[in-house]
Amino acid sequence: MNRLLYPALSLLALVSACQTTAPRQASTTTTSTVAQSQGVYQYRDEDPSVKPFFSDRVGTTGRNGMVASAHPEASRVGVEILKMGGNAVDAAVAVQFALAVVYPGAGNLGGGGFMVYRDAKGQLATLDFREKAPGKATQNMYLDSLGNVRPGLSISGHLASGVPGSVDGMVQAHGRYGKLTWQQVLQPAVDLAEKGFSLTDRDARGLNGIKYDLKKINPGKAYFIKGNPADTLRWGKDDRLVQADLGQTLRRIQAQGRAGFYAGETARLLATEMQRGGGLITEQDLADYKSVWRDPLKATYKDLTIITMPPTSSGGVALVQMMRFVEPFPLRKWGWNRDSTVQVMIEAERRVYADRAKFLGDPDFVKVPVPELTSYPYLKTRWTDFNWAKATDSKNVRGGTIPGYESLETTHFSVVDRDGNAVSITTTLNGGYGSRVVVGGAGFLMNNEMDDFSIKPGTPNMYGLVGNAANAIAPGKRMLSSMTPTIIEKGGKLYMVAGTPGGSTIMTSVFQTVLNVVEHGMTMQQSVNALKFHHQWLPDKTIFESGAFSERTQQALQARGYVLERLTNTLGRMDCILVRPDGSFEGASDPRADNTAMGY
Distance CA 157, CA 446 (A): 9
Please provide the CATH number assigned to the domain covering 11-57+301-407+522-574: 1.10.246.130
Of 266, 410, 508, 542, the catalytic one is 410
Strand partners, 578: 496, 586
The strand ranges marked E within 273-316 are 292-294, 297-301, 304-308
User: pLDDT of the chain along its 600 residues, tens only?
Assistant: 233 333 333 332 333 333 333 443 332 233 333 334 344 455 555 556 667 999 999 999 999 999 999 999 999 999 999 999 999 999 999 999 999 999 999 999 999 999 999 999 999 999 999 999 999 999 999 999 999 999 999 999 999 999 999 999 999 999 999 999 999 999 999 999 999 999 999 999 999 999 999 999 999 999 999 988 888 899 999 999 999 999 999 999 999 999 999 999 999 999 999 999 999 999 999 999 999 999 999 999 999 999 999 999 999 999 999 999 999 999 999 999 999 999 999 999 999 999 998 999 999 999 999 999 999 999 999 999 999 999 999 888 776 665 543 335 789 999 999 999 999 999 999 989 999 999 999 999 999 999 989 888 767 766 666 666 788 999 999 999 999 999 999 999 999 999 999 888 999 999 999 999 999 999 999 999 999 999 998 889 999 999 999 999 999 999 999 999 999 999 999 999 999 999 999 999 999 999 999 999
Decide if 193 contacts 100 (C-beta within 8 A).
no
Decide if 120 contacts 455 (C-beta within 8 A).
no
Decide if 281 contacts 274 (C-beta within 8 A).
yes
- Residue 347: exposure state from Cβ atoms within 10 A (0-12, 13-18, ≥19): buried
Distance CA 524, CA 153 (A): 40
Known active-site residue 410: yes
The residues spanned by each domain of the chain are 11-57+301-407+522-574
- Going by DSSP bridges, is the β-strand pair 542-544/564-566 parallel, antiparallel, or unpaired? parallel
- Going by DSSP bridges, is the β-strand pair 596-599/124-129 parallel, antiparallel, or unpaired? unpaired
Residue 550's Cβ-side half-sphere holds a number of Cα atoms within 13 Å equal to 24
Distance CA 507, CA 306 (A): 14
How open is the CA angle 414-572-36, to the nearest 5 degrees?
70
Q: What confidence score (pLDDT) does residue 464 get?
A: 64
Distance CA 355, CA 353 (A): 5
Decide if 372 contacts 378 (C-beta within 8 A).
yes
> pTM for the full model?
0.91
DSSP code string of 531-580: --EE--SSS--EEE-TTSS-HHHHHHHHHTT--EEE-SS-----EEEEE-
Distance CA 468, CA 407 (A): 9
Distance CA 148, CA 459 (A): 10
List Cα–Cα distances, 460 to 91, 257, 414, 456, 533, in angstroms. Answer: 37, 38, 30, 8, 20
